[in-house]
Amino acid sequence: MFFLISKILYFLLCPLTWILILLIVAVLIRKPKLARKYYITTLVFFIFFTNPAIIDELLRLWEQPMTMIHADQQFEAGIVLGGGMVTIDKDYDRLIFQNNTDRILQTLDLYKKGTIKKIIICGGPGTIVFKETIEGILLKRYLTEIGVPKDDIYIDSTSNNTHENAVNCADIINKNFTKRSFLLITSAIHMKRAQDCFSKQGICTTAYPVSKIVGYRRTDIGYYLMPDAEVLIKWDKYLHEVFGYVTYTVMGYI
């Protein structure tokens, strides 16, 4: 139920949803003066939520900085959190990699360098519609196909959210690991919530943020003045994390 409700609330928080609602209301209202106010409000929302500079500053405050791992550092395992990395074309039995693949690529790089000895993949369906597509299973298939031994891979294939990732991963760790030295690998914007969830389960991790959205501050004038439709995607990710962190705090997950 929590998973379903969170998806619905996430949709309602989406800036594009509100822009469309305001526009529809403006079109349907028959009173010209009131309709004009809604049109102006829609325009203000559009300008604000498509401005790159505004969202980038907010993301810069929220995203966890990159971590420097020294060559002599070793961890018992790398815990990589799933989320939109891979799906499968069943007609051709072909894996299709999508967003957030930096997570698994960085994990593989760390494994090949010997920084992490084992890989723990936390990734269930994470979707209401395609419940049979288990990301953890698909990623394990990919890793074994390119030469990673099966014995070096552990998967949590049932979790639907970050809280369940931490709970299920804690069970895997308690059954299979003793040294308890772990590298947590997830996107920079997601790291704060993820690491707090794992800490709540008694798992101390070293953060290894990937998929960083924001880079250095830009100085070109167009960046501050020109609207960009792709900014709406950044807002979705930012609000998803802020709302998620607040919700997890209320629920006692962190």
pLDDT digit string, tens, across residues 74-127: 999 999 998 878 888 888 989 999 888 999 999 999 999 999 999 999 987 645
Query: Average pLDDT of the chain?
Result: 90
From 19-23, 53-57, 127-131, the region with the lowest mean pLDDT? 127-131
**pTM above threshold 0.85:** yes
Number of residues written out for the chain: 254
Q: What ranges do the domains of the chain cover? A: 2-63+230-251, 75-210
The pLDDT, as a whole number, for residue 197 is 96
Torsion sign, CA atoms 137, 140, 144, 145: positive
User: Which CATH architecture does the domain made up of 75-210 adopt?
Assistant: 3-Layer(aba) Sandwich (3.40)
Contact criterion met (CB below 8 Å) for 62 and 192: yes
Distance between CA atoms of 107 and 104, rounded to whole angstroms? 5
Identify the band that residue 128 occupies on the pLDDT scale cut at 50, 70 and 90. very low
> What's the mean pLDDT in 33-46?
94
The pLDDT, as a whole number, for residue 220 is 92
Contact criterion met (CB below 8 Å) for 165 and 197: yes
